[in-house]
Amino acid sequence: MTTRQLQDEIVRLKREKGVCILAHAYMDPDITEVADYVGDSFGLSQKAAEAKEQTVLMCGVRFMAETCKMLCPDKKVILSSPGAGCPMAAGLDREELEALKEGYPGYTVVAYINTTADLKRAVDVCVTSSSAVKIVRRIENDKILFVPDQNLGAYLKEQIPEKEIALYPGGCPTHYRITAKEIEAAKKAHPKAKLLMHPECSPKIQKYADYLGSTTGIMDYALNHDDEEYLIATENSIVKHLQLKCPEKRFFAASKDCVCHNMKLTTLTDVYHCVLGDGGEVIELDDETLREARRCIDEMLRFG
Ligand code: 13P
Ligand code: SF4
């Protein structure tokens, strides 16, 4: 079977069986082409809740499927590849956070959406990379404990110096791989290119960025500016997507190593088996987790 034939079969099956396919933008184009919505972590969950279909297939990693389940608990939510986790989310569990909180009495606990549903039970407000600055500014308390991404946290501290923001030393191993040396070399090779970067990157390289923002922010910037060349400092699938969307512009990866192996676990064949009904993992969250974890998501929606 060719890629095109498999894609056609997936589209036929998803319509027949009433499955809404959501794909994070870090998925490869063969998968995003069959998706009903492609976007960043938060946009995907919002679409899951809006979808008319009763079954949602999340092509991404586990915390994204859990967030979908929290936002639409009555729907059947399937994670495309059961092994696809996020090392940053797995790096901090609820027990550790509860212990950490004891050292920060009176602080509002803010967590990046890239965390487990179980950890979210111990969090006051959740944020995404696109909403973090706006939401943390709006929180009345000037003392914030931000977990788990210390790089996004460093960006928050820089943007909101008037608040006292305590950080946990977690982060995304994928974005950490981009080095200052690579950025300098890439800028030298493409001197006219605008450097678009995700705030999950280290502060050591954030200072080189012409634009810092979420996956959607980076894509919108490139689509809406007239510059002809862009260096992309985030997961390298974004280079492919942008190049397909804007063939008249040129896009270059800032590093060959910024590849998320968890996102890459999902194949088009996995998507086929999921819509067929014999693949993926149906996400189940108990009532207590659904109720308690949902609170920080509701707070995010209220602030956002
Ligand atoms: P966004 O999709 O929120 O930009 O985050 C990037 C990421 O690393 C997702 O896992
Ligand atoms: Fe997690 Fe980073 Fe992969 Fe996103 S890119 S899923 S934050 S490891």
pLDDT for position 41: 81
CA distance 163 to 7: 49
pLDDT in tens, 87-125: 999 999 999 999 999 999 999 999 999 999 999 999 999
3-state helix, strand, coil in the chain (%, to 5): 45, 20, 35
Q: What is the rounded average pLDDT of the residues 263-290?
A: 97
pLDDT in tens, 50-62: 899 999 999 999 9
Q: What is the rounded average pLDDT of the residues 245-273?
A: 97
pLDDT for position 2: 97
Give the position, in ligand 2's atom list, of the atom nearest the Cα of 87.
8
**Which residue owns the Cα nearest ligand 2 atom 1?**
86
Distance 234 CA to ligand 1 centre (A): 9
Cβ(270) – ligand 1 distance below 6 Å: no
Domains present along the chain, CATH in parentheses: 3-85+263-286 (3.40.50.10800), 88-170+290-303 (3.40.50.10800), 178-253 (3.40.50.10800)
Give the residue, out of 58, 80, 88, with the most ligand 2 atoms within 8 A of its beta carbon, to mutate for a pocket test.
88
Among 126, 107, 102, 104, residue whose Cα is nearest residue 115: 126
